[in-house]
Structure 1
Amino acid sequence: MSDKVLTRRHGRVLSIVINRPQVRNAIDTETSEGIAAALMQLDGDSTLAAGVISGAGTGFCAGMDLKAFLAGERPAVEGRGFAGIVQSPPEKPLVAAIEGHALAGGFEIALCCDLLVASESAVFGLPEVRRGLMAGGGGLLRLPRRVPHNMAMEWILTGRHVGAAEAERWGLVNRLVPDGTALDEALRLAETIAENGPLALRGSKQVVEQSGDWSASEAFTRQQEIYEPVRSSADAQEGARAFKEKRSPRWTGQ
């Protein structure tokens, strides 16, 4: 994997770091490929249950690397889109640790995550309209699902920067923490998630992500298709035994 993206295991959690602090962790093609590879590692390793993505240095991500773009690069991965994530986020839970700026494509990466931990000085924004552009990396699709519609429209149509306290007030941020501690808190949150059954985590996320398109008449049938294999799994039996025996479960992902 490129040194533009670093990974490190923390038990059952994979930490993914965008490592280009000299350009505010802007995304070029190699970085996109590195993020995609890290997400494949997360989803493909049965001993990993959750991930955390962060930026090196003092910022999360400033979006697309414009110099690389002008040089002819397209910072996307086939089937996964910009930054190797926006079209195809991981199947397993992913937590964003936001320090500093998460702007444009950087904000769109954060919106791919299931939970956001932000430092008090973190800043979010989709400023594309100020440059006559649209936020084409999923921001227009995901932001209205994360905050009230009218606030999403204000942030999108003005292109203004949104502070972490405001983002928390409207429900975008799960944890607001002192500067310099977002990654530690995100890892703690991910480790708490990773204590749970891996099949149950993946299935639960799948239902939440997909059910928005389900009609009322088909919702429980569609949910059952995901639920039944989890209910019938060895992990479900292990969870029940561990509860009865008053011990921590030993998950196998089967």
Structure 2
Amino acid sequence: MSKTYTFTDPRLSELDGFRVEISADKRRADVILDRAPLNVISMEARDQLRLVFEALDEDADVRIIVLSGTGEHFSSGGNIRGFMEASPEHVSKLAWNVAAPARCSKPVIAANRGYTFGVGFEISLACDFRIVSETCRYALPEQKLGQIPGSGGSARLQKIVGVTRTKDIVMRSKRIPGRTAYDWGIATECVEDGELEATVDALVDELLEFSPLAQRTAKKLLNDTEDALLTTAIEIEGLNYSRLRQSDDFKEGVEAFHEKRKASFTGR
């Protein structure tokens, strides 16, 4: 049973265009864009989304976070007028705010259907998993406004698909169907529209079976070594492996393996 999540930070007393729900039995938090029909993300919402992810990261009762949108579309992007009204200092923080899912130590899943444009695409790229429906259309349309992506979109995308495809997407404001996004490695999985929620639910259940300590370690390791030399990445991997060998979860995992039973991880 899901219920509305209550934040202690007064800046989150009234969320702008989205809501947060918690499923205590699943140890799952849902961040749901809720400004139908296009779920436009305001400048204020970007600030609040950062604070929300930071708060959920600190909550020991939350293991998995799912980012989704109500209705037919995840998000058509940002509030265009808001860009003209925001100060240069405020605009300079956009990429940091949108990168909150990547900084979060816990697994973050984006559930994308319909329009997933601009900042909607950028914040999805900052998530660990992108489950898309066949109706999903990814795009960075900023060229049509005489602009470029400003919240990490082109940079993250280039890491995934390379410079040639990124130029094709960014410089032509090209829309990428969900199936193509999967084929190119942008999406983790592409399913029929009616199966999106069930697929996300199944992934949440799967992730909950693993050690939260090992999950946090794996996410940070992969994020930290993305730009590292191979030798450096291997060295850091080895150090993290050695650290986890001392954990209660590793001991439990080994014992459960030999006893042919399901492991019960505690995150220690």
* TM-score, scaled relative to structure 2: 0.84
Q: In the aligned structure 1, how far is the partner of 2:95 from the partner of 2:42? A: 9
Q: In the aligned structure 1, how far is the partner of 2:158 from the partner of 2:86? A: 32
TM-superposed deviation, 1:160: 1.3
Q: In the aligned structure 2, how far is the partner of 1:60 from the partner of 1:253? A: 32
1:11 is aligned, of 26, 41, 46, to: 26
1:84 is aligned, of 86, 93, 97, to: 97
In the alignment, what sits opposite 1:164?
178
TM-superposed deviation, 1:20: 1.5
Q: 1:25 and 1:88, CA in 2 relative to 1: closer, same or farther beyond 3 A? A: same
| Long gaps (5+) in structure 2 | 1-11
- Aligned sequence identity (%): 27
Residue 201 (str. 1) matches residue 215 (str. 2): yes
In the alignment, what sits opposite 2:35?
20
Q: 1:205 and 1:180, CA in 2 relative to 1: closer, same or farther beyond 3 A? A: same
Q: Residues 26-60 of structure 1, C-alpha deviation per residue, up to 9 Å, x if partnerless?
A: 11244224422331233223343322110112111
Runs of 4+ residues deviating >6 angstroms = 73-79
Task: Work out whether residues 75 and 82 of structure 1, in 8 Å CA contact, stay in contact via their aligned partners in 2.
Answer: no
Farther off after superposition, 233-242 or 67-76:
67-76
Q: In the aligned structure 2, how far is the partner of 1:88 from the partner of 1:16? A: 11
Q: Residues 186-243 of structure 1, C-alpha deviation per residue, up to 9 Å, x if partnerless?
A: 2211221121011111111112112122223433322233333222111111112222
Q: 1:75 and 1:7, CA in 2 relative to 1: closer, same or farther beyond 3 A? A: farther
In the alignment, what sits opposite 1:126?
140
1:154 match: secondary structure: helix
TM-superposed deviation, 1:174: 2.0
Q: In the aligned structure 1, how far is the partner of 2:218 from the partner of 2:256? A: 21
Equivalent AA in structure 2 for residue 113 of structure 1: C
In the alignment, what sits opposite 2:8?
none
Q: 1:58 and 1:208, CA in 2 relative to 1: closer, same or farther beyond 3 A? A: same
| Long gaps (5+) in structure 1 | none
Q: Which has the higher contact order (CA 8 A, sep 6+)?
A: 1
Q: In the aligned structure 1, how far is the partner of 2:100 from the partner of 2:49? A: 13
* TM-score, scaled relative to structure 1: 0.88
Q: In the aligned structure 2, how far is the partner of 1:145 from the partner of 1:88? A: 17
RMSD over equivalenced CA pairs, Å: 2.5
Q: In the aligned structure 2, how far is the partner of 1:150 from the partner of 1:131? A: 22
In the alignment, what sits opposite 2:190?
176
Task: Work out whether residues 32 and 75 of structure 1, in 8 Å CA contact, stay in contact via their aligned partners in 2.
Answer: no
Farther off after superposition, 129-138 or 82-91:
82-91
2:76 is aligned, of 38, 42, 62, to: 62
Q: How many residues align?
A: 252
Q: In the aligned structure 1, how far is the partner of 2:241 from the partner of 2:56? A: 22
Equivalent AA in structure 2 for residue 94 of structure 1: V
In the alignment, what sits opposite 1:230?
244
Q: 1:177 and 1:217, CA in 2 relative to 1: closer, same or farther beyond 3 A? A: closer
2:227 is aligned, of 200, 213, 217, to: 213
Q: Residues 139-196 of structure 1, C-alpha deviation per residue, up to 9 Å, x if partnerless?
A: 1110012224322221111111111121122121222122243233122112211210
